[in-house]
Structure formats: C-alpha cells, structure tokens
Amino acid sequence: MKMKNSTLAGWGIIALFLISGCSPKGSDEKSSPFSSDVASKVYVAPGQHDEFYAFLSGGFSGQMSVYGLPSGRLLKVIPVFSLDAEKGYGFNEETKPLLQTSYGFIPWDDAHHPELSQTEGIPDGRWIFINGNNTPRVARIDLSTFETVEIIELPNSGGNHSSPFTTENTEYVVAGTRFSVPVPQKDVAVESYKENFKGALSFISCDPVTGKMDVAFQVLLPAFNYDLAHSGKGASHGWTFFTCYNAEESNTLLEANASQFDKDFIAAVNWKKAEEYVKGGKAHDFPTSFYHNIYDDNAHMATSEQIKSVKVLIPAECPGLVYYLPTPKSPHGVDVDPTGEYIVGAGKLSADMSVHSFTKMLKAIEDKAFEKEIQGIPVLNYDAILAGVVKSGGLGPLHTEFDANGNAYTTFFISSEIVKWKVGTWEVIDRSPCYYSVGHLMIPGGDSRKPFGKYMLAMNKITKDRYLPTGPEMNQSAQLYDISGDKIQLLLDFPTVGEPHYGQGIPADLIKPKSKQFFNLAENTHPYVTKSEDQTKVVREGNVVRVYMTTIRSHFAPDNIEGFQVGDKVYFHVTNLEQDWDVPHGFGIMGATNAELLIMPGQTETLLWEPKSEGVFPFYCTDFCSALHQEMQGYARVSKKGSDLKLKWWTGSAK
Amino acid sequence: MKNIPRISMVLAATVMVLVFFFPIWRITLIAPQYPTGITMYIWINQITGETTGTLQNINILNHYVGMQMIVPDSIPELQYFKFIIGAVMLLGLFAAIMNKKWIYLAWMILVIVLGILAVYDFYLWEYDYGHNLSPTAPIKVPGMAYQPPLFGKKLLLNFEAYSYPFWGSLFIGISIIFAFFAFWFKRPKDVQYEK
Ligand SMILES: [Cu+2]
C-alpha cells in the first residue's frame, strides 16, 4: 500500500512537472491545475481511505457521527444518549442499562462536545468522551468497537456543558455545570438564586488501563454559568480552566441581565491541589444519588450501579484551589495553546479576545495581585495576567484551535467567519467566511499539545441555501478548509447529522489498526449465550420464556418454536455464531413493540417479545447476510393462556 | 571430511522436526467479498486458518454447494501422520549410526515414496470433498465439482482457489537433499579407505 502511494505520488510529481513545463505560465503556481484544483484535494479514490477520522457531536440527536476527512464521507453514527432502532441500541436488554439515570430511563440527551483521550497531551485514539447536557452525564466510547461503553451521571449539576475536556494523560475528564442549581436539590424560591444556588465542577477520574470513570470530586463554586473548559498542558498541566458567564447571578431574562458586567471570568482550578485537599480529608461527603452504567465487551451487556455520595471541595476552605481570571463579555470558549502558556478567552459579545498568560497568572497569585474575592475565591488583576488582545475586526468570537505552526484560528458567530492570527504577536493574518454562523471549529489535534493540522472543519449553525432544500428543517452544515498554506482555502461543504457543537480529529493510523473485526465467541461471557447449535433450547420459568437461539448463514436455530402463550414475556437471547468480519445477523419478530436486534459476530443480544394474541408469527433475519438471507426465517406459535401445549422447538426436522 | 555423510544424515533426520512447527500446504480462496482471501493451512496433525473462525467460514461457504464439513478430528491421517514422521526420523538417526551408503539411499527413497503417497492421499481427500456433494444443497450447478487444485490455481464458481506447498514441505525437501548428500559423499568401501 505504502509503495503504491509513493508510486502514485511519483507519477503525480512527474505529471506536474510535465504540465508546468508545457504551460506558458509554468512558474506561476496558481495556474497549475494541481494547486488550484480544490476537487483533487478532497478526492479520495474508490477503495482508498481517508487520512483523518473526524468525530462530530450530534447535539440534540444525542449521537456522535464519524466522518472521514478530507472526503467528508459519513462512516458511522454512534448512538450515545439516544435510541437507535437500527442497532437495537436502547431497545435490546443489553444496552437499556446504559441509559439509566437517577430519574429513570432517559433515552435522549443533548450531546455537545466530543473529546479524545490523550496521552502526554496528544490524542491517543483509545476512547472518545461526550457530554450529555440536559440530564448531566458523560459517556465514553471505545474506539476499537466505536460503541458506547460507559455513561456516568453527574450529581449536583444542572446542564453539563463545560464538558468533557480531558487532562494531559486523561487523568480527569471535567464536567462543569452550565446551570447553577440548589445543592443539594430542594424546593426553594427561584428568587433565592444568589443565596441557594451553586455551580458544581466535577472531576471524573479515568482508569489509565480500562478507562473506567468515577466522579473523583466536585468543586462547589458561586452560582455562575460554567460554559466551556480546557485543561492546561505542558507548564500549565495540573490546571483546568472554565469560562463563566452570568457573573451577575441573574435568574431571569439572562439575555439582558447576564450581559451587564464588563467582564465575567475564567475559573482556573488547580486540580493537583484539589487532589491534595481530598487526600488531606478536606472534602465533604455530600449525600446524593447518581447512576454509573458500564458495558462489558465480553458479557456484551451493560450493568447499572447507583452511587449515593460524592466528595465536594468548598474553595473558601481550600486556599489556592480556584482563582478567577477576569475576561471580557461573557466568554464562551477557553482554549489553551499547544505550549500551555496562553489561555484564550473568547468574549462572545465582543470583537476582541483576551489572551491570558499562565506565567503571569502564577506571578499574580504569588504577588497576591487580587482585585477582590468572591466567596473566598481571589479574582486576579486583569492587567497583571493579560498577555495580549487580539483585535480581530470580527464580531462574536466563540472558539479557538491551533495549528502546528504557531497560528490560532477563531470562529466568529456573528460576523460568520474564521480569523487566523499569530500566537504571541496577536496580529491577524487571514480570514475566511463561513456559511453560515459558525459555532465551533475543529483542527485534528487542534486542542492538544501536538496539532496534526492540515485541515480545519467549521461546524455551522445556519444552513439556508447551501444544499437542495428539504422543507423547513434542514441538516446543519460543515465546511472543510485547507490550512496547510498561508491562506485559508475552502475545500468542501457537507451536511451533518444532528447539530454538531464540536468535533475532534485524529490521523486514521492511530485508530484503524485497532478496529475490531468481530467478537471472539470463545470469550463471550453473556449469561444467556449459546455457543453452538446443539445447545439451543427454550426454557419456561412461569410466564417468562427464554429462547437460547443461534444464527449462522443462513438459518436460525431453533427456527420453529411452539408452546408460547398469550401474556408470556419471551426473551430471545440470540447469539451470532459467525466468526467473520462484517457478517452481522438481524432478528425481527412480528408485533414486537421495541425494535430489531443487530447482532455482531460472536455477540449475544436479547429482544423482549410479549405476544398479545394467539397465532403463528414469523421472525426473520433483517441484515442481508448471504445469498440465502431471504430464506433465513422462522415461526413462533402462540397458544391461549394456560394451554397445555408443551414447548417444542426444532430446526430442519421436528424433535 | 569423512564425517560429512554422517553429519548430513543427522541433519536430514533432525530438519524433519520442523514439519511439526510449520504447515505443509496452503490453500487460499479469493472472491469479491473476500478481497484479502480466506487462507487455510494444512499441517501434518491439524488444519488451521488465519483466524480462529477461518475453518467455520470455509465450512459455511462450502455448505451452500453441499460440500461436507471439514472436521479435522475426523480425518485419521491427522492423527497418525505425526507417528510416521517420528518413525522416519528415528530411522534416519539409525541410518547415521550404521553409516552405510545403501542405507542412506534406502532412507531417501523411503521419504520420497512416503511424500508421494501423502500427496496422493491429499488428492483423494480433495476429490472426495469436491465431488461427494449433498443432494439437498441449496446451490446445485449441474456437472460442477468443487475439487480444489492440488498445485496451482483454479476457478470454483465465484472463488479463485490457490493451492501450494508451504514451509513444512520445503523442510522435507531439504531433508531429502541432506540424505542425498549423505549418500553421494559416502564412499562405498570405507574400510579399505581407512587402511
Ligand atoms: Cu442472516
């Protein structure tokens, strides 16, 4: 493969040489068909693979979508905080526990920010996290299976927005609350906001081997809105920065009331210090209730655990834990440059961006250059920590990412553009329009210590006339830019799934070799697994009937079952015996009130079927598995309640 | 110099042990749905595939045209071949002790004859798998047989089948060459020479 590529590149160079040699304006690069042909930059030939994976949040779809870049090919939609009838996610018995919360089964959420796990500040391609904003949760997706494997709920939170940004070695995934709420929850007047409400920042620890999450501790802050976050890197490793708006602590008509102060804040949390305080016994054990759900890849099922207490640190009792960095006009993004020195706050109601210096911040703390204190949290002197101001000429900066050459790229929602500027000199170098009203942008590795660069993806909020119209509701739009040259070059437009709020990109080589092809049947530990056809059976336990069923090209075993009764709860535990890449089998049965099963090779999944009337009902394979897929079917006979017809099952010839 | 025949014979006998560690034959099937192919390895005592699922995958594909399942445990040759190889190795060492020109020749011929018999046996199995088809097969193509090639490449419906010897066979070849050296360099009347 490598050789093929280099040979192709070789021919390309020769061709380029020939063409530029023949052209009268051969020296002018712009006129060369290869440099100006945008189409060739996004063309990935049939059968070839993209250079990068891009993970885009689905926003209100609760999912995450996976694209290839530069082609913009949609590779997969991963259900996370959502139901997916196609995969049976949230419908089959195995994945239902993933969506359990302290409020019950919640099959929807608003998923905003994907974040790749990192090692030494560089995306490592092991897991990707995503937040659920509405019922505060964080999910972990395993990138060997591209499946949701863990969801943890967050106590004392009310809108998990500044989440799930990781620290350099994924020690923590953070989760700051967007809405402050009474902590603990209680029935109080909304008007008592300033007195009763708090903003909790959660630090979720992540096991370095298994990835298993755990709410390690929370930091309880004043009742501001905590919007976005990023952790320090390099010198600033050990700190996490959260933007806040509504320092006014208003609880009504926020569009005006929360936009009054000249400056809001970035909260700088020293989490290494927090660890010391927790170890030193400074944390309070707050009684609460939240769910922790884990999916086991060998058992092929999720289990839920309810947790009843959480460790909480109060900044007033923990000096040096939190500082506020004054930042103009309701900052949205807080982005740390690859060196870890500069902290960029994007004041979304202003034209300019304030960049804080980490070195100056430490100095200000040492010099006690404080403007004031808020509930025991020192507010640092703005001028003492300011590194510079980017005079952008745009309006409404939201979010910044970085390339590998010391440049920063900031989105401007109101002026609908991306502005490229130089880190350190703060001068604007280039700008490019977005169609329309860009929210976040993504550069592969652009929020890490090692931006991979090359491409930039704008995730736009307004689509209007960009594509063929599809009625009032349209897909959101993404735009791909080439940022390898001096000028930003627009390459491609493509519609996206849901409403992407943020994305992550990573070279394909960091994920591709680890991608699982099928599950090893021998390692299947599902409690209702059937590992061969001669072990298939049907067992009645009262009105619960369990069918131990297998699939293999191209039949079910058993495929004829008699002896079900009206009112039974029938669990079809279907094991796919295949051990080959891309041979799933499906299972659909007439009258099922949930969905289908789509069972990967080596996997066991369970569908609950509750027959309501007598009759004989077909079931069949829903995935075109083979030439005889259309023959892959069976019948389930349902008799009246109390019938003395015994359970009977067979495949091929009756038992 | 005079030890060359004996050393060659010892090498001929011992190199054969490698047959226990490498497959002797490889069959690869390539179809549009299997761009990288499905590869099956035949050893003296087992049949394996590239993955744990390979044999099952081949059996699934074969059952559509009514071929029998390949069940290694039910192939007797895979049970007793290892003993034959062991016996031949012992005979080889015995030959080295005897250090007689005619014994070297006899051992070499024995290995060649056994090799030919093994390949013929392999051919018979292939013939049986390819021709002895279930009358209730879902796919029946009149006049079609699915016998894979013994050596080379052949089109079987949508599959291109490739069959070639693998490392194990090469080691048997090397063993034969060593035995030939032993035979060639051994002087017929050593006793006179030593005087
Ligand atoms: Cu099927």
Q: Which tens digits make up the pLDDT trace of A40-76?
A: 999 999 999 999 999 999 999 999 999 999 999 999 9
Identify whether residues A486 and A574 lie together within a single domain.
Answer: no
Identify whether residues A508 and A547 lie together within a single domain.
Answer: no
Say how many C-beta atoms besides its own lie within 10 A of residue B136's C-beta: 7
Q: What digits encode the pLDDT tens for the residues B86-111? A: 999 999 999 999 989 899 999 999 99
Burial of residue A213, with CB atoms counted within 10 A of its CB: 0-12 exposed, 13-18 middle, 19 or more buried: buried
- How far, in Å, are A41, A406, A407, A489 from residue A422 at the CA level? 26, 6, 5, 18
How far does Cα A161 stand from its chain's mean position? 12
- Dist. CA A446–CA A400, nearest whole Å: 9
In a domain, A107, yes or no: yes
Q: What are phi and psi of A476, to 5 degrees?
A: -75, 170
Identify whether residues A496 and A553 lie together within a single domain.
Answer: no
Q: How far is the CA of A632 from the centre of ligand 1 (A)?
A: 6
Lowest mean pLDDT, pick from A335-339, A349-353, A387-391: A349-353
- Dist. CA A584–CA A603, nearest whole Å: 9
Q: How confident is the model at residue A349 (pLDDT cuts 50, 70, 90)?
A: confident
Burial of residue A465, with CB atoms counted within 10 A of its CB: 0-12 exposed, 13-18 middle, 19 or more buried: exposed
Identify whether residues A483 and A631 lie together within a single domain.
Answer: no
Number of domains in chain A: 2
Of the partner residues B53, B64, B138, the one whose CB lies closest to the CB of residue A580: B53
Q: Is the pLDDT of residue A1 over 70?
A: no
- Dist. CA B69–CA B61, nearest whole Å: 10
- CA max distance for chain B: 77
Please give the full DSSP string across A508-556, using - where no structure is assigned.
Answer: GGGTGGG------GGG---TT---SGGG-EEEEETTEEEEEEEEETTEE
The whole-angstrom distance between B111's CA and the closest CA on chain A is: 39
Q: Is the pLDDT of residue A655 over 80?
A: no
Chain B residues whose CB is inside 8 A of the A579 CB are 51-53, 56-57
Tell me if residue A33 falls in helix, strand or coil. helix
- Dist. CA A533–CA A552, nearest whole Å: 9
- Dist. CA B56–CA A581, nearest whole Å: 13
Say how many C-beta atoms besides its own lie within 10 A of residue A381's C-beta: 18
- Comparing C-alpha atoms, which of A79, A8, A112 is closest to residue A501? A112
Q: Is the pLDDT of residue A329 over 50?
A: yes
Q: How far is the CA of A520 from the centre of ligand 1 (A)?
A: 18
Chain B residues whose CB is inside 8 A of the A552 CB are 60
Say how many C-beta atoms besides its own lie within 10 A of residue A19's C-beta: 14
- How far, in Å, are A127, A515, B79 from residue A510 at the CA level? 11, 10, 44
Q: Is the pLDDT of residue A502 over 70?
A: yes
Kindly determine whether residue A580 and residue B139, on different chains, have CB atoms separated by under 8 Å: no
Identify whether residues A484 and A542 lie together within a single domain.
Answer: no
- Comparing C-alpha atoms, which of B135, B152, B161 is closest to residue B39? B161
Q: Is the pLDDT of residue A31 over 80?
A: no
Say how many C-beta atoms besides its own lie within 10 A of residue A582's C-beta: 11
In a domain, A537, yes or no: yes
Q: Is the pLDDT of residue A28 over 50?
A: no
pLDDT, greater one: A389 or A11: A389
Q: What are phi and psi of B131, to 5 degrees?
A: -110, -30
Q: What is the pLDDT of residue A32?
A: 41
Q: What is the pLDDT of residue B44?
A: 93
Measured between CA atoms, the residue of chain A closest to residue B36 is A581
Under a CB-based contact definition with an 8 Å cutoff, are residues A443 and A455 in contact?
Answer: yes
Say how many C-beta atoms besides its own lie within 10 A of residue A18's C-beta: 10
Q: What is the pLDDT of residue A34?
A: 46
Q: What is the CATH number of the domain that holds A544?
A: 2.60.40.420
Q: Is the pLDDT of residue A15 over 50?
A: no
Between chain A and chain B, the number of residue pairs with CB atoms below 8 A apart is: 27
- Dist. CA B123–CA B121, nearest whole Å: 5
The whole-angstrom distance between B74's CA and the closest CA on chain A is: 18
Q: What is the CATH number of the domain that holds A430?
A: 2.130.10.10
Q: What is the pLDDT of residue B191?
A: 52
Identify whether residues A486 and A634 lie together within a single domain.
Answer: no
For A519, the token pair is 């599950």
Lowest mean pLDDT, pick from A39-48, A61-70, A81-90, A348-357: A348-357
Q: What is the pLDDT of residue B45?
A: 93
Q: What is the pLDDT of residue A25?
A: 37
Identify whether residues A466 and A580 lie together within a single domain.
Answer: no
Q: How far is the CA of A394 from the centre of ligand 1 (A)?
A: 56
For A429, the token pair is 């170098």
Say how many C-beta atoms besides its own lie within 10 A of residue A214's C-beta: 12
Q: Round the average pLDDT of chain A to a whole number and report it.
A: 92
Q: Is the pLDDT of residue B181 over 80?
A: yes
Measured between CA atoms, the residue of chain A closest to residue B138 is A628
Domain span at residue A608 reads 521-650
Identify whether residues A482 and A367 lie together within a single domain.
Answer: yes
In a domain, A46, yes or no: no
The residue-averaged pLDDT of B62-91 equals: 92
Measured between CA atoms, the residue of chain B closest to residue A551 is B60
Under a CB-based contact definition with an 8 Å cutoff, are residues B59 and A580 in contact?
Answer: no
Q: What digits encode the pLDDT tens for the residues B128-173? A: 999 999 988 888 888 888 998 989 999 988 889 999 999 999 999 9
The ipTM (two decimal places) reads: 0.83
- Dist. CA A361–CA A235, nearest whole Å: 12
Q: Is the pLDDT of residue A430 over 80?
A: yes
Q: What is the pTM of this model?
A: 0.90
Last residue of a domain, which of A484, A514, A544? Answer: A514
Q: Whose structure tokens read 């897909």? A: A475
In a domain, A23, yes or no: no
Of the partner residues A518, A522, A553, the one whose CB lies closest to the CB of residue B60: A553
The residue-averaged pLDDT of B22-45 equals: 92
In a domain, A369, yes or no: yes
- Dist. CA A413–CA A14, nearest whole Å: 43
Identify whether residues A536 and A509 lie together within a single domain.
Answer: no
The residue-averaged pLDDT of A106-123 equals: 97
Q: Is the pLDDT of residue A180 over 90?
A: yes
Q: What is the pLDDT of residue B188?
A: 76
Q: What digits encode the pLDDT tens for the residues A506-548? A: 999 999 999 999 999 999 999 999 999 999 999 999 999 999 9
Of all residues in chain B, the percent with pLDDT exceeding 70 is: 96
Last residue of a domain, which of A488, A514, A540? Answer: A514
Question: Residue A432: which residues within 8 A CB-CB, separation 6 or more?
Answer: A417, A418, A420, A481, A488, A490
Q: What digits encode the pLDDT tens for the residues A247-259? A: 889 889 888 887 8
State the DSSP H helix or E strand holding residue A432, giving kind and residue range, or none if neither. strand A428-433
Lowest mean pLDDT, pick from A125-129, A299-303, A329-333, A478-482: A329-333
Kindly determine whether residue A627 and residue B64, on different chains, have CB atoms separated by under 8 Å: yes
- Dist. CA A467–CA A459, nearest whole Å: 15
The residue-averaged pLDDT of A365-386 equals: 96
Q: What digits encode the pLDDT tens for the residues A263-290? A: 899 999 999 999 999 999 999 999 999 9
Chain B residues whose CB is inside 8 A of the A626 CB are 64
Q: What digits encode the pLDDT tens for the residues A200-250? A: 999 999 999 999 999 999 999 999 999 999 999 999 999 999 999 888 898
- Dist. CA A136–CA A229, nearest whole Å: 16
- Dist. CA A477–CA A465, nearest whole Å: 10
- Comparing C-alpha atoms, which of A79, A52, A48, A85 is closest to residue A65? A79
- Dist. CA A55–CA A52, nearest whole Å: 10
Interface test with A, best of B52, B63, B140 (most A CBs within 10 A): B52
Identify whether residues A185 and A330 lie together within a single domain.
Answer: yes
Tell me if residue A425 falls in helix, strand or coil. coil
Q: Is the pLDDT of residue A33 over 80?
A: no
The whole-angstrom distance between B63's CA and the closest CA on chain A is: 10
- Dist. CA A205–CA A214, nearest whole Å: 5
In a domain, A18, yes or no: no
> Regarding beta strands A569-576 and A63-69, do their DSSP bridges make them parallel or antiparallel, or are they unpaired?
unpaired
Q: Which residues of A touch B (CB under 8 A)?
A: 518, 520, 522, 552-553, 577-580, 601, 626-628, 631
Identify whether residues A562 and A507 lie together within a single domain.
Answer: no
Identify whether residues A427 and A344 lie together within a single domain.
Answer: yes
A382: left (phi over 0), alpha (psi -120 to 50) or beta: alpha
Kindly determine whether residue B53 and residue A518, on different chains, have CB atoms separated by under 8 Å: yes
- Dist. CA A420–CA A427, nearest whole Å: 9
Last residue of a domain, which of A514, A529, A552? Answer: A514
Q: What digits encode the pLDDT tens for the residues A584-614? A: 999 999 999 999 999 999 999 999 999 999 9
Burial of residue B110, with CB atoms counted within 10 A of its CB: 0-12 exposed, 13-18 middle, 19 or more buried: middle
Chain A residues whose CB is inside 8 A of the B64 CB are 626-628
Give the residues across from A481 on adjacent strands.
A456, A490
Of the partner residues A553, A579, A628, the one whose CB lies closest to the CB of residue B51: A579
In a domain, A7, yes or no: no
- Comparing C-alpha atoms, which of A117, A2, A125, A112 is closest to residue A52? A125
Which 3-state string (H, E, C) describes chain B?
A: CCCHHHHHHHHHHHHHHHHHCCCCEEEEEEECCEEEEEEEEECCCCEEECCCCHHHHHHHHHHCCCCCCCCHHHCHHHHHHHHHHHHHHHHHHHHHHHCCHHHHHHHHHHHHHHHHHHHHHHHHHHHHHHHCCCCCCCCCCCCCCCCCCCCEEEEECCEEEEEEECHHHHHHHHHHHHHHHHHHHCCCCHHHHHC
In a domain, A594, yes or no: yes
Measured between CA atoms, the residue of chain B closest to residue A555 is B60
Cis peptide before A70 (omega within 30 of 0): yes
Kindly determine whether residue B60 and residue A552, on different chains, have CB atoms separated by under 8 Å: yes
- Dist. CA B4–CA B181, nearest whole Å: 8
